[in-house]
Structure 1
Amino acid sequence: MKLPSLSIFEKKEKPQYYLSLILRDEKAIAVVFVELSGIIKIIGREEEYFPGSIEDLTTEALLEICDKIISKAETPLPKGVETQKTIFALKDNWVQENKIKKEYLDKLKKVCDELGLTPIGFLVITEAIINLLQKEEGAPITIILAQISKENVSISHIKASRVVETKISKIHESASFTVDTLLKHFEIPEILPAKVVIFTDQEKELSQEFIRHQWSKSLPFLHLPQIVTLASNYDVKAVLHGGAKQMGFTVSPHLMDFKGNEEIPEFTFIKGDAREEAVIGEPQVEEPQRLEEETVEQKDDEVNPEEEIKDAVILPAEHFGFMEDKDVAKITPFKEETEKEFSLPLRQETVEEPKLAIIEDEERRPFPDFREDRKPERPSAIRELNLLALVSGAFGKFGSILSNFIHRFKDRKIVFIPAIIIIFMVFVYVYYLFALKATIVLSVYPKTEEQKQNTVFSTSSSTNVAENIIAAEFVSVSEDGSTTVNATGKKETGTSAKGKVTLYSRFTSDKTIQSGTVITSPSGLEFTIDDSVKIASASADASAQPTTATVAVTSKKFGKEYNLPAGVKFSVGSLGTGDIIAKNENPFSGGTKKDIIVVSKNDAGKAEEELIKDLEQKARDEIAKKISSDKILLPIFIDTGVDNSEANKKVGDEADALSITGTVTFKTLSYSKKDITSFAKLLLKNKIPADLTIDENNIKIEVSDSKKKGDSEISASLNIKAALLPKIEQDKILKKVAGMLVADAEKEFKNLPQVSKVTISLSPRLPLIPKFLPGDPNKIKVTVKSDG
């Protein structure tokens, strides 16, 4: 007689809440579901359409919509409870090679960071739909799948549950016309599947449209295709079925019965005599009872344990899409020996099980990893599968044995869990000892030595350190540019004073005064006679009047001072004033003067210098690209020249600035790093202590007094500065610190000369285990770097 359950034997189990965020082309859907006793059921759902396509949506707009629908979907949750663990369902074109594309991954990371979500995986919506259709059909499906939004159509040719080809387009004329047209662009086989499955929010309207559609005769349908329209919430159902299977949960028969205003049912575990029944606030289905009967039959018909192990197929964790610290996309899917292979050439990956790819691994690290901060929870299928994968992957053959052992007995009530934990911890510790590696970086303060030496860079001779000759080769580059400099020249300008003078001559013979003859005022101001003039002879009588002639004159220079008043007497050329004089009867006028800025010769030279200076760095960068990594450029240019220069002004032109454009050719030398290192070592060999060595990456050379010696040699004075690092006997020190605690090893290294900082990195890193170096010196790598 079976006694009724008593409340004293009841035990409550805390439900776990999850969020699924489905991002379709035209809308986002948030689904909150609860898991208890391995059974899931929807308790909240909300959706919102985008203004256009999700592809055109900004990250901020996507974040706002997701926040809104998640908040509404979480309304039925108890006070103080929010969903964090999130499964994303994404469009096909958001995923490439089983990874979320970077541009979309950044958006999802932003959503997770801002809304406090913990991503546990993602599914591709199309793969989830195909998998659920196959499950409902009970066999691989061959169909045309058309996913239709308000603006876009995506059709896929599915053969034996594999995506053969996919085409996407904007809707033209109508959805049925667009599908018909896209099918013509397929690499069509001999016969197209005669079944078209439509998934859309407009199921009623589009169903009739496709039924009435006259398909093109060129499409190789065997007969008129059957039109099947999926429910508008089929994507939600498919995603939850796919996620539940990968997470090790069972889907409630009433999964899609959510009404939007129902209360969260009570979840209770009732302790029975033979099993634990999950009461989910609704009548129990017959499945648990049937499972119990099957278990009883198995007990009656027990087999030999060895035969049972032999016939059992142990599925590794990779088969479920979970691997710790690995990308499941790179793991070869598990196949039984009886599985048949399809030889059809495909363009896309086979759609087997919708992989709930873990996005907390190294390749999806941009998503936050909150595992270390989580509170202890009831072990779920995800963590159990990850544990098996970790054991099997980390310890090879022995790990596989332990993994299979745990897998076979994980559901049996045997009190050996502590022993398994101890064995696992021993395995982890042993693995840690064998796998442990260390990288030690020593930062040291370098000492500096310098030496001056005259040397010759030769393009025709090989390096001869003893004779101070370094082999080199010319390197040149031409750069175009322009520059502008201020004009600094000064020039006087203005107008000359003009007037007329009367010449008084006492010459007894005719006298011609030529044009250009200078007449000079008593104050030294000079004027020139504009036109030649002939003066008649005068009488020899001293009392007689001199002969006269009037002529125009112009001042030799500009200035107001040449505007002389009337009555000024002038000497004429080199003639004596007793023989001839000039006198102005009227004042001179028109004389002005001002200073202007003009282009000088110095300005033109300075402009070329500035052009060369402006292009120097660009030339260095271009030349550096032309030489190999084992070469060094001379830090100065040995020759520069401006070709094809053009200026906007000439020398002497009035201007505030001078602009020139031109091509500058830069020429320098390159030489070998190896040669200059040998040269430096030879020069400094008597100055370097035995316990120091030259840092070959820290040799600086200053060149001065470079002079051209013929066409193939350049003489120069070199000032070589070399950084000196301590010589560390690595074999000796590593043998000493091997197996030592990290803190003690740091002290040992800091006792070395010139060491300023010690950085020790261990791999792998495990918590709670004391940090110590590997016992094998060969697993310790030491790098010395200069700190100056």
Structure 2
Amino acid sequence: MTVPNFLDKLTGKKDAVEKTFLALVLSDHRVQAAVWKVVGTQTEIVSLGTPVEWDGDVATTNELIQAVDATISSATEGFDLEPDEIVLGLANAWVDSNGIKQSKKDLIKSICRELSLKPIGYVVIADTIVKYLKMQEGTPPTSILIQVDRRSVTLSLVELGGIKYTVSVGSSDDISSDVAEALSNLPPDASLPSRFILVSAMENTSDLVQALTAFDWQKSFSFLHTPKIEALPKDVELHATAVAGCSEVAASRGFSLESNDQGPTVESSRATKHQQVKEENPTAADFGFHPSSAKELSETLKTSHSTSVANDHLDDAPPDNEEDLNGSLDDTADLGDQDEQENLIQDKKRSPLKFNLPTLPTIRLNLKPQLPHMPKFSLGGSNRIIYVLIALVLVTVSAFAAYYYIPQASVSITFQAKPITESINITLKDGATAVDPDTSIIPATYTTKEITGQDEVAVTGTKTVGDPSVGEVTIYNRTSLPKTLLKGTALSANSLKFTLDSDVTIASKSAGADYVDVPGKANVKITASAFGSAGNLKSGTEFTIASFTKDSFVAKNDAALSGGTSQEVTVVSESDKAALLKSLKTKLSAELKNSLLPDQSSGENFYVLEDDIKIIEEKYSSKVGDPATNLSADVTLSMGLLTYNQNDIQQLVKNTIETSVPSGYMRTEIPPSVTLRDTKTLEGGDVAAAADVTLYVVPTLETSEIIEAIKGKKYIEASTFLSSIPSVVGSQITLSPNLPSRLSSLPHNADRITVKIMTTK
């Protein structure tokens, strides 16, 4: 990236010290900083700070500030002038669809205030890594991005450079099991690319790659090929964050960045210092960068983290004091209203729809002409000409009268209605009897509804089944006392375990010829403790009996043991049962929602309490541990409902929404709709939600003006004119009498044309 006069633009001096910046990666378990700068055509990491762990679940804000201070101090050690402008790389858990979560926003505000930092902007780590890979490889990547830290594993399914699904699971000592669990939580129809990209700043990535490579992914999941597993350098998060920040700094200071043709690849090794990253004309928005100069920080934090933000609207300089930064963070709640008010002002400035109507000459006809008294003439001579002329006049007048008064037209025009939405925070409260405008409480009634459904999943558990080895052994007693061994006494040989099939008594040893002791002996059946052919021991194998030494008791088989077999079969696992039940709950909850449509006449509507679902009855096709290929279930669920009247909600916003209808528009006959979002079940079963009330408007039109504009026009000309009216999505013209289209035209008499206005969402 070529930066003409970079130092001059930053400092105003040609020989000034190069400008440096900070990059800071923040997650719930780790923070790490780096110092970076732009040198020539490249982004250069000057130094890396030590990663510092912290516990986002229990640690205080001060502990987080101390951790950030520690990693920044280690990154800036030895600097005469420590940088204070910073780019933030945020973990997925720190953002949601509305941008940075409010709790995390407060943490960032505290960090910047206490450590005197000036935020340039932020990126979401997963997003910017994907964009970073696209910059390296030249094409949008399709892969499975795996981010690993000490406490969690986050899996992102990337398709053509975009993150389609993200799943997080708790981490264990087995990375393959963690990734398998995350893959199982993806939608069943998700297409799995055969490429894993591993990112971890705290773990040994070579060990993780080795463990993932050893796992049979094709056996458990629908991969077309064995996945290729690659690991990015430990500092890739900081590099990607710095590259995004570099693009933004360049744009905000009025100079461009040029890229070289080559850049580092995934497989290339990277030094921990003086790392150089090259890009091909990337912008800050290409990396999912969200600028945060004093005014725009608040606006950016409010927008979705997946939306690229143009980098040409930054202020000339970052905030110079704490007050500016605090204000930008505190005022975010009002920005949405300001945007809506600005749009409202623009809507109100729109003038009503007007038509330039053609001016037609007025034709006045005397349809009952008074003919002069005609004397009787003969048809001969010159009188014949007079009669012919009179007949022609009568026929012409009659034809024109018929042309003007007989034709009629019926015109239907369909407009695309424009929605206008007002939002209000409400609480659906069971037992309330009336709407409370001060607290926005809406009366609701709690009920339950039972719903039954069926579903089936493929099982994933495995189990070894088979038969144990059996045979007969001879037990030798080398002691001077007889011995009885009970059924089930353990024997072992070659680390294999066996048990006696019955009780057996062995006589004591006796004296033989030449005073040689002869051990007592007895035969007994034995059975292997485990399945498998390993227990089919050959003849002459010695067995140790219980804890006795072979000097006291020993056993030997005269014939080989046989019958041992084993095989691995698919069985129902606990996770299969849990996955099926979860799928059924989701399916039945959706079916219930679709069946409970609002009553437009009474305004009655329903809200399904997804946290209030109880299992009434459940029947499974197999038990856990049973061999099977599929597991099906019939489940009856009881789901909690809150019944409310959406007219109550409309009443709360009536005054506001009526005044928001733009000038030149009018309400349609389409009933207003109410949609609940951001719902949260409160203690006691009440529900807090944001209610969006939407009504529909169309441009104000005078049908008389439309009639004047189309009367007398050919059919095709009138249809073209109607289609040109703003917001018209369809029209139909019915003429009587019905003539061929080339002869058809609308009546010249406006009284013979009727216009019907219809609307659609």
Superposition TM-score tier, normalisation by shorter sequence: 0.3 to 0.5
Question: TM-score normalised to the size of structure 1?
Answer: 0.37
Question: TM-score normalised to the size of structure 2?
Answer: 0.38
